[in-house]
């Protein structure tokens, strides 16, 4: 039951009265008994009331909310919608209704009833009659109510009209319906919730608009957030707040940047590349991101790109790239970002350019790093030597990674010997030399010029020492040359122009069918002989007389998933007596042969620092390079795995690392591939410094 004193004529229609009914009154009134439930069904609003012959038209009490109205539904549910002053959120009362003999009978769940005789009905108007004691004098007055059909959908309230402008896809622009009661209007107020919240509490007032005819607002300075932003609208009359919308949640990352920029054709200036572009014209500008790529991006499967630099000054539209990408004929583009992380790309422009320190295309067989000087020795199949005449040939390339150039290569004569392993330069008692096994011929080379100082031919080795097919060779700290073939290990010392055999022993008792034998010198004068397909290795010590002692089978495997010698190799720390195989995740002790460290399963070893404090690793499986495989999971990064704490530090690289090393002054370098190849077994490489 509604209290008395509520809205004059409205209370006469939209209330259930608790007072007694006088049914005899309705029997004396002429009613239209032909009216049916189907006639009455629908929504109606009160537009006028009659009392003692006076007709008064009814206007909305709150124009911004529209008319109060009632609804007679087809399932005999009665509802009344009454607006209050504050929020235009209607109070909804409900009950049941029916039509009997020209009388509308309404009841609620409390058992209260009210009856409205139908005086007149036509589709455009409904006239009802009833009695009510409006002045509390104990006598009931007679009233007429005039109603018209009402379409609630036309009563669009501001509650649902405050919305984001769907046509302005690049802006945080909001629209709402104009306030109809201009004379009472004071202001529109637009609020935004605090960043990271979607609440009205503590909301920030963005604008107060006193013009009733201004019904749009653009948030020009929103926070740079990755989450949603929440807004709401208040409408104030001169006597106070009349409306407050619900919170409107907006995802600013869905804004569309419609205006891309144009990148001019890149210009070559010496060893540098100049990029120039148009100034961006977008809302909420954040920064330009300069990227290089291997294509225009037409094929997403083959397209790769990486960032060079970000510029957060809108007017700065020029960049001189003094460190161009390690990619032949790269493409460039400019990405324009707004503060929400949305971006638009410029056109992609290609430039004919190749860095001088980009080596290739080639196929690596073996790499060795000089312990004392800034050189990497790369045994590779390529056309880099000047004697190749346009054909791919095998040769060792001496690359100065400080200068970024190949200083020398082995000769065509050595290339004709076939595939061969070699050692990094070793300081002998006489001089520093590099040892090469060329088709089972042993060569001692000057490491500067790569000229042959001396050699021991296959026939000499066969006839004198019964040494046929050399699989690997190395040098011990106490000055002996150690060689293996598929069955035995040999210890030599040089004697002028000849070799002296000091000892020979069988290594593996069981012969392996393939030629993937290799060995590594550890702990100064110890030798480990291993095979790609064997989980056990053979350990020897070379004493100061050149004798092989302490032979034992050890559970330190030198097996490998890889066939290429470059990948079928190991990294050793002499100072820490530790060893880890290329692409493996277990570091062993070279003294006890026990496991010292295990890396996570998805890590692959690419190197080891000198003191075995860090394993240089990657999540890129080394199987990917040197093949026709293109993987979307490759990362340009080196992982420094701390062998004491198991903590991991990630270092971003310019290319995809395939071998990482520390030089004699503590600098860390990566031999890297510039792009994720897809259709070739050959690739370019470069050497990049990855620590400060």
Query: Residue 8: is its pLDDT beyond 90?
Result: no
In the structure, what pLDDT confidence band is assigned to residue 28 with cuts at 50, 70 and 90? low
Query: Residue 4: is its pLDDT beyond 60?
Result: no
Find the range with the poorest average confidence among 103-117, 155-169, 223-237, 516-530.
155-169
Answer yes or no: is 495 within a domain: no
pLDDT at 625: 77
In the structure, what pLDDT confidence band is assigned to residue 23 with cuts at 50, 70 and 90? very low
pLDDT at 84: 72
Least Cα distance to 507 among 526, 524, 479, 529 occurs for 529
Query: Residue 184: is its pLDDT beyond 70?
Result: yes
147 and 176 housed in the same domain:
no
Query: Residue 562: is its pLDDT beyond 90?
Result: no
In whole angstroms, give the CA distance from residue 116 to residue 146: 12
pLDDT at 438: 81
682 and 635 housed in the same domain:
yes
77 and 166 housed in the same domain:
no
pLDDT greater at residue 304 or residue 505: 505
In whole angstroms, give the CA distance from residue 212 to residue 599: 68
The mean pLDDT value for 494-504 works out to 92
pLDDT greater at residue 651 or residue 414: 651
State which of 323, 350, 377 marks the end of a domain: 350
In whole angstroms, give the CA distance from residue 396 to residue 411: 9
Answer yes or no: is 466 within a domain: no
CATH number for the domain harbouring residue 312? 2.60.40.10
Query: Residue 14: is its pLDDT beyond 60?
Result: no
Report yes or no: 400 and 378 within 8 Å, Cβ to Cβ: no
Query: Residue 452: is its pLDDT beyond 80?
Result: yes
In whole angstroms, give the CA distance from residue 462 to residue 126: 122
Q: Number of folded domains in the chain? A: 4
pLDDT at 566: 81
Task: Name the percent of the chain lying above pLDDT 90.
Answer: 65
pLDDT greater at residue 140 or residue 214: 214
In whole angstroms, give the CA distance from residue 290 to residue 319: 9
The overall pTM is greater than 0.75: no
Q: How far is CA 419 from CA 135, 414, 481, 496, 580, in A?
A: 116, 9, 20, 27, 25
Q: What are phi and psi of 443, to 5 degrees?
A: -120, 140
State which of 312, 333, 350 marks the end of a domain: 350
CATH number for the domain harbouring residue 127? 2.40.128.280
17 and 144 housed in the same domain:
yes
In the structure, what pLDDT confidence band is assigned to residue 3 with cuts at 50, 70 and 90? very low
176 and 126 housed in the same domain:
no
C-alpha dihedral, 576 to 582 to 587 to 591, nearest 10°: -50
In the structure, what pLDDT confidence band is assigned to residue 2 with cuts at 50, 70 and 90? very low
Beta pairing partners, 231 = 192, 248
112 and 203 housed in the same domain:
no
The mean pLDDT value for 193-215 works out to 94
CB under 8 Å, gap of 24 or more: what pairs does 480-485 form? Answer: 480/542, 480/546, 481/435, 481/442, 482/519, 482/521, 482/527, 482/542, 483/437, 483/442, 484/517, 484/519, 484/529, 485/517
Answer yes or no: is 318 within a domain: yes
Find the range with the poorest average confidence among 69-83, 214-228, 489-503.
69-83
pLDDT greater at residue 159 or residue 528: 528
The mean pLDDT value for 103-107 works out to 92
Query: Residue 172: is its pLDDT beyond 70?
Result: yes
In the structure, what pLDDT confidence band is assigned to residue 303 with cuts at 50, 70 and 90? confident
Residue 141 has, within 13 A of its CA and on its CB side, a CA count of 14
Query: Residue 639: is its pLDDT beyond 90?
Result: yes
587 and 658 housed in the same domain:
yes
18-55 in b/e form (b: 16+ CB < 10 A) is: eeeeeeeebeeeebbeebeeebbebbbbbebbbeeeee
State which of 228, 254, 280 marks the end of a domain: 254
198 and 287 housed in the same domain:
no
pLDDT at 680: 64
In the structure, what pLDDT confidence band is assigned to residue 429 with cuts at 50, 70 and 90? low
pLDDT greater at residue 129 or residue 223: 223
- What is the tens place of the pLDDT at every residue in 572-614? 999 999 999 999 999 999 999 999 999 999 999 999 999 999 9
Least Cα distance to 560 among 552, 571, 551 occurs for 571
pLDDT greater at residue 132 or residue 338: 338
Report yes or no: 463 and 456 within 8 Å, Cβ to Cβ: no
Mean pLDDT of the chain: 88
Answer yes or no: is 523 within a domain: no
Query: Residue 557: is its pLDDT beyond 90?
Result: yes
90 and 108 housed in the same domain:
yes
22 and 99 housed in the same domain:
yes
pLDDT at 541: 98
89 and 181 housed in the same domain:
no
Answer yes or no: is 474 within a domain: no
pLDDT at 272: 97
Taking only Cα atoms into account, the Rg of the chain, rounded to an integer number of angstroms, comes to 45
pLDDT at 130: 77
Find the range with the poorest average confidence among 23-27, 267-271, 420-424, 468-472.
23-27
Is the peptide bond preceding residue 361 cis, with omega within 30 degrees of 0?
A: yes
Neighbours of 3 (CB within 10 A): 7
Query: Residue 638: is its pLDDT beyond 80?
Result: yes
Answer yes or no: is 138 within a domain: yes
The mean pLDDT value for 325-353 works out to 96
In whole angstroms, give the CA distance from residue 520 to residue 428: 18
Least Cα distance to 565 among 593, 532, 590 occurs for 532
Answer yes or no: is 422 within a domain: no
Query: Residue 283: is its pLDDT beyond 50?
Result: yes
Range of the domain at 646: 573-692
- What is the tens place of the pLDDT at every residue in 659-668? 999 999 999 9
Answer yes or no: is 84 within a domain: yes
306 and 224 housed in the same domain:
no
Query: Residue 481: is its pLDDT beyond 70?
Result: yes
- What is the tens place of the pLDDT at every residue in 53-67? 888 888 777 766 667
Burial label, 628 (beta-carbon count in 10 A; 0-12, 13-18, 19+): exposed
In the structure, what pLDDT confidence band is assigned to residue 375 with cuts at 50, 70 and 90? very high
């Amino acid at each position: 039951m509604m209290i008395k004193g509520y809205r004059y004529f409205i209370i006469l229609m939209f209330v259930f009265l608790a007072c007694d009914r006088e049914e005899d009154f309705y029997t004396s009134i002429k009613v239209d008994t032909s009216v049916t439930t189907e006639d009455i069904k629908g929504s109606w609003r009160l537009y006028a009331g009659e009392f003692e012959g006076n007709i008064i038209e009814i206007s909305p009490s709150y124009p911004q909310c529209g008319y109060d109205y009632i609804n007679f539904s087809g399932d005999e549910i009665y509802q009344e919608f009454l607006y209050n002053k504050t929020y235009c959120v209607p109070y909804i009362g409900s009950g049941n209704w029916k039509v009997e003999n020209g009388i509308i009978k309404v009841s609620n769940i409390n058992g209260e009833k009210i009856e409205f005789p139908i005086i007149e009905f036509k589709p455009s108007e409904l006239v009802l009659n009833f009695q009510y004691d409006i002045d509390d004098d104990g006598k009931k007055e007679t009233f007429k109510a005039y109603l018209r059909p009402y379409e609630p959908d036309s009563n669009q309230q501001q509650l649902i009209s405050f919305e984001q402008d769907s046509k302005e896809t690049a802006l945080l622009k909001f629209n709402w319906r104009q306030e109809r009661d201009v004379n009472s209007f004071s202001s529109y107020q637009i609020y935004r919730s605090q960043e990271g919240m979607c609440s009205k509490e503590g909301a920030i007032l963005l604008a107060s608009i006193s013009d009733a005819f201004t019904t749009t607002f653009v948030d020009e300075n929103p926070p740079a957030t990755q989450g949603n932003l929440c807004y709401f609208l208040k409408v104030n009359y001169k006597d106070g707040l009349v409306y407050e919308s619900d919170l409107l949640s907006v995802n600013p990352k869905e804004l569309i940047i419609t205006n891309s920029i144009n990148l001019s054709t890149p210009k070559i200036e010496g060893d540098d590349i100049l990029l120039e572009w148009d100034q961006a014209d977008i809302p909420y500008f954040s920064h330009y991101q300069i990227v290089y790529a291997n294509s225009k991006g037409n094929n997403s499967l083959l397209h790769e790109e990486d960032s060079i630099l970000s510029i957060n000054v809108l007017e700065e539209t020029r960049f001189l790239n003094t460190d161009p990408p390690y990619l032949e004929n790269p493409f460039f583009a400019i990405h324009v970002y707004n503060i929400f992380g949305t971006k638009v790309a410029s056109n992609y422009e290609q430039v004919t350019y190749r860095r001088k320190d980009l080596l290739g295309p080639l196929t690596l067989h073996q790499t060795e790093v000089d312990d004392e000087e800034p050189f990497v020795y790369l045994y590779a199949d390529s056309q880099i030597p000047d004697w190749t005449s346009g054909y791919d040939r095998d040769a060792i390339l001496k690359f100065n990674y400080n200068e970024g150039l190949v200083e020398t290569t082995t000769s065509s004569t050595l290339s004709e010997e076939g595939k061969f392993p070699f050692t990094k330069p070793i300081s002998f008692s006489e001089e520093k030399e590099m040892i090469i096994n060329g088709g089972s011929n042993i060569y001692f080379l000057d490491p500067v010029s790569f000229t042959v100082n001396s050699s021991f031919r296959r026939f000499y080795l066969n006839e004198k020492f019964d040494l046929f097919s050399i699989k690997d060779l190395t040098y011990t700290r106490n000055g002996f040359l150690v060689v293996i073939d598929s069955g035995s290990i040999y210890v030599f010392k040089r004697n002028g122009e000849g070799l002296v055999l000091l000892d020979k022993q069988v290594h593996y008792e069981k012969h392996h069918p393939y030629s993937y034998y290799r060995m590594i010198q550890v702990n100064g004068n110890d030798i480990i002989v291993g095979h790609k397909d064997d989980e056990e290795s053979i350990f020897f010590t070379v004493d100061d007389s050149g004798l092989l002692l302490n032979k034992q089978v050890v559970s330190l495997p030198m097996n490998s998933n890889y066939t290429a010698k470059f990948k079928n190799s190991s990294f050793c720390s002499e100072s820490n007596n530790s060893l880890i195989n290329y692409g493996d995740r277990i570091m062993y002790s070279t003294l006890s042969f026990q496991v010292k460290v295990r890396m996570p399963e998805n890590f692959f070893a690419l190197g080891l620092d000198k003191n075995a404090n860090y394993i240089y690793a990657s999540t890129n499986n080394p199987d990917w390079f040197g093949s026709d495989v293109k993987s979307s999971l490759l990362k340009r990064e080196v992982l420094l795995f701390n062998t004491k704490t198991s903590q991991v530090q990630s270092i971003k690289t310019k290319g995809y690392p395939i071998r990482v090393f520390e030089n004699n002054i503590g600098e860390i370098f990566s031999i890297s591939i510039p792009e994720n190849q897809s259709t070739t077994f050959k690739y370019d490489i470069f050497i990049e410094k990855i620590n400060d």
